[in-house]
Structures are given as structure tokens and as C-alpha cells.
Structure 1
Amino acid sequence: MIRLCTICARGGSKGVKNKNIRYLLGRPLIAHTILQAKATNLFAEIAVSSDSDEILAIARQWGVDYLIKRPDELATDTAAKIPVIQHCVVETERLTQKAYDTIVDLDATSPLRLPEDIVAAVNLLEKKNVSNVITGMPARRSPYFNLVELDECGVARLAKKLDRSVTRRQDAPKCYDMNASIYVWKRGALLTKAAIFNDDTQLYVMPEERSIDIDSELDFAFVEFLAHKGRQP
């Protein structure tokens, strides 16, 4: 298997200013993901995609193999994630003259994952021979028990109903929150199906303490706390 790791990091951020290069434990945030990818020894190449020259320069300093400049149309607030990954893959293949079997995209804003999580997610895809693998954690709220939505009259109702009543959250069907940490695709599924959810999509479950995706200052504070705690003997 020839595997490519992509790390897609847009410049700027509304929730956390310059979060992809903000320092965590003395390193730019994106460096943690680069080092995790390297530690797996899975990848023929690691490519970073960004519209930011500063992010690309930092990625070079931390030893990525290819720097992919993202076009403006893929760097807007509304740009979807999959076209960005596809662009990174196609450009890297053009530069390397390789066709990769497995593509792994790691989100730079999820720095608490372990290299073992990446390895396990890739093994799940390749052993099951499925289109893709996503990662998630056990959900804090259940749509069958304590997650509500408002109907057209503004009345609060359970998001999902069963044909039986659920009096304890533990009795509801298991649900998971996607944690935006690791996405694994077969090359063909990524470049042709271009979907997060396919008929055979598998889930790799991670614990909550390794699943925080930084979207706000509060998220960053949680990550800093857990990262420092993890360094303690």
C-alpha cells in the first residue's frame, strides 16, 4: 500500500485567530499533527495544503514533503472540505508521479490524537476493504433521550423517536459525535464518490479526551489543559 497524508490548514480563523499556527506546548499547532503523521511510519509522503504562505513555511520547517498552495476558490469560509483534500491529492500525485492507494487527512485543529489512532483507523480501512473510515467519540447527548429540536410551532421535541420509550440514556441506541480528527479513504472513493458517508463507511471510536476539535477559545483552553496534563508523569 502506498499512502499519502494530507493536512489542510487554511490561513486565518474567526473563532481562534491564526489557530493553525498558534503555539501549543511550544510548537505551532500544525506541527503536532505533522509529527503525529511522521511517527506512524505509514506514509510515503506528507503534504500540507494552505492558502497561507506563513503556514506553508512553518510546515516546511517541520519537515513535510510537499507544500500545496490552495487556490482562492478553495480558501473561502464556505469552501467544502472534500474538494480541498481532492485538490491536495491530485497536485501531490502530479508532483510525485504516484497514484496513492490510501489517503489519510488529518485535521490540524485536533492535536490530541495519538499516532496509534491514525494507525488503527488506517488498519480498519485496509482490513475491512471499505471506501472510507471516519472518527468519532461517544456522544454526550442522545437524540433518543436528551437532544431536542424545535418543530415548526417552536415546540421542543426529541430529535429522534423510537417505537418504545427511553427512560435512561444508557438504554438508548449508541450514538457518536464526529470529532473531525482522522479521515481515511481509498483513493477511488475519495476522487469519485467524494462523500463522507458511503454505504460501507466505518467508524473508529476515540475517547473524548483525544477528540477535541478547536473551534473556539474555550476549545483551545481545554486542549492546553489536557496537553499539559498529558506531559505530567
Structure 2
Amino acid sequence: MSAVAIIPARGGSQRIASKNIKLFNGQPMIAWSIRAALASGLFDRVVVSTDDEDIACIAREHGAQVPFMRPAELADARTGTAAVIQHALATLDQAFDYACCIYATAPLIQVRFLRQGYELLSAAPLASYAFSVCSFGFPVQRALLINEAGTLAPLHPEFRNVRSQDLPTAYQDAGQFYWGRSDAWLRGDVIFSPKSVPVILPRHLVQDIDSEEDWLRAQYLYAALLAGGELDG
């Protein structure tokens, strides 16, 4: 079976300048995703989809291919991931059975979970996708809102008196990778649906990076995980 890794990495990050190539622990951020994809041995090609020449240059330096530049209409802040993967699959001069979207800002990504995702999807012939998730640290049913008066109110009042241990575990998108059958991507199958199977990651290996605070937390996590011997490399 053939597989391609596609790493979306547009230029013009709004909240963290040049986020995709900013140095993280001495390496451009995108290099961590490229390295994991190459080290996994799962992919016939590791491709970066970008509209930015600097990102393209750095991606090539770290072993990825940039066989096309992404068009401007697919490189704004409102463009969804699925559209980028569809464009890449339609543009590449080769067909693949599987396509794995790996986010460029996932420095904690681990090869073992990439492999697990492939194994789970290939073992589930009726599934379209397998992607990384982790459990919420506290029951989402007990979430609170701050209202217009500046006071607190329960998001789900019906659960206010239910013990947390009696509530089902809820999961969130870990924002690292999305394995999919190529035909599922091209059909536009919905990712967050019963067509997907979960690759469950421990919470301490997950950190979304959308703000400077997120970036700092990711650096702390990386240092602690490295010291504890929990990272692939």
C-alpha cells in the first residue's frame, strides 16, 4: 500500500510571526514534523504544501519535497485543512492509497503514534480516517461560562450536580496528524464523525500552539519529556 505525508504550512501566521519556521529547541518548527514523517518509514513521499518560499526552502533542507506551491486562494486563514489535502492529492503526479496530514506545528509528535494510526486505519476497512485525540483534563459537561454580568454560569446546567467520575470521558482533537484513505479525502468525508477511529495520546504529549503562551508551554513540555526519556529523539 502506498502513502504520502502532506504537511500544510502556509506563510503569514497572525498570532505567532513565522510560526512554521520559528526555531523550537534549535530547529525550525516544521522540521519536527518532517523528521517524524521520514523516521516512521511509512511514507513513499513527504510533501509540504506551502505558499511561502522561505518555508519551502527550509522544508527541502530538512528532507521534504515541495513539488508545487499552494495557490493564494488556498492560503488564507479561513482555508480548511481538507481543502489543502484535496488540492495536494489532485496536484501530485502520483496516486496514493493513504494520505496523512501532519500539522507543521507539532513538535511533540511521536513516530510510534503515527505508526499506530496507520495500523488502526488499515485494520478498519469501513473507516475513512484515524486521527490523534486526547482526553479532556476535566469533564466538559461541567464547563463554566462567564456571563455578561461577569459572574459564572454552567455551560450544561443539567450536569451541575453529577459527580465528575459519573460522567463519560470526552476527547479533543490533539492537532497532530490525520490519517485518511485518499479517496475519503477526495470525496470530502467528514473527519469528526463515526467514519473516524481514534489514536489516543496521553495528555502530556499534546500541546496546541496558537499563542505565545502555548509556545512557552510547549517548550517546557518538550524539555521535561526529553529529560524523562519519553520522546523518540
One-letter amino acid matched to 1:221: L
* 1:182 corresponding residue in structure 2: 177
* 1:134 corresponding residue in structure 2: 131
Q: How far has the Cα of 1:158 moved from its partner?
A: 3.1
C-alpha RMSD over aligned residues: 2.2
- Contact 1:131–1:200 (CA<8 Å) still a contact in 2? yes
Alignment of 1:7-26 (within 5 A): 7-26=7-26
Which sits farther off after the overlay, 98-107 or 133-142?
133-142
Q: How far has the Cα of 1:161 moved from its partner?
A: 4.5
Q: How far has the Cα of 1:49 moved from its partner?
A: 0.4
One-letter amino acid matched to 2:220: F
One-letter amino acid matched to 1:31: A
State the distance in 2 between where 1:11 and 1:67 align. 17
Alignment of 1:80-229 (within 5 A): 80-92=80-92, 94=93, 98-129=94-125, 130-148=127-145, 156-159=153-156, 161=158, 166-167=162-163, 169-229=164-224
One-letter amino acid matched to 2:71: P
Q: How far has the Cα of 1:155 moved from its partner?
A: 8.5
Equivalenced residue count is 225
What is the DSSP-based 3-state SS (H/G/I as helix, E as strand, rest coil) of the residue aligned with 2:58? helix
* 1:27 corresponding residue in structure 2: 27
Which sits farther off after the overlay, 194-203 or 123-132?
194-203
Q: Per the alignment, do residues 186 and 77 of structure 1 end up closer, same or farther by CA in structure 2, a change over 3 Å counting?
A: same
Q: How far has the Cα of 1:170 moved from its partner?
A: 2.1
Aligned sequence identity (%):
30
Q: How far has the Cα of 1:89 moved from its partner?
A: 1.7
- Contact 1:132–1:198 (CA<8 Å) still a contact in 2? no
State the distance in 1 between where 2:146 and 2:174 align. 21
State the distance in 1 between where 2:124 and 2:116 align. 12
One-letter amino acid matched to 2:136: A
- Contact 2:47–2:64 (CA<8 Å) still a contact in 1? yes
- Contact 1:15–1:216 (CA<8 Å) still a contact in 2? yes
Which whole-Å deviations, capped at 9, do the CAs of 1:88-125 have from their partners, x for residues lacking one? 12212x2xxx2111110101112101011111111111
Q: TM-score by structure 2 length? A: 0.89
What is the DSSP-based 3-state SS (H/G/I as helix, E as strand, rest coil) of the residue aligned with 2:176? strand
Q: TM-score by structure 1 length? A: 0.89
Could you tell me which runs of 5 or more consecutive residues in structure 1 were left unpaired when the two chains were aligned: none
One-letter amino acid matched to 1:70: R
* 1:64 corresponding residue in structure 2: 64
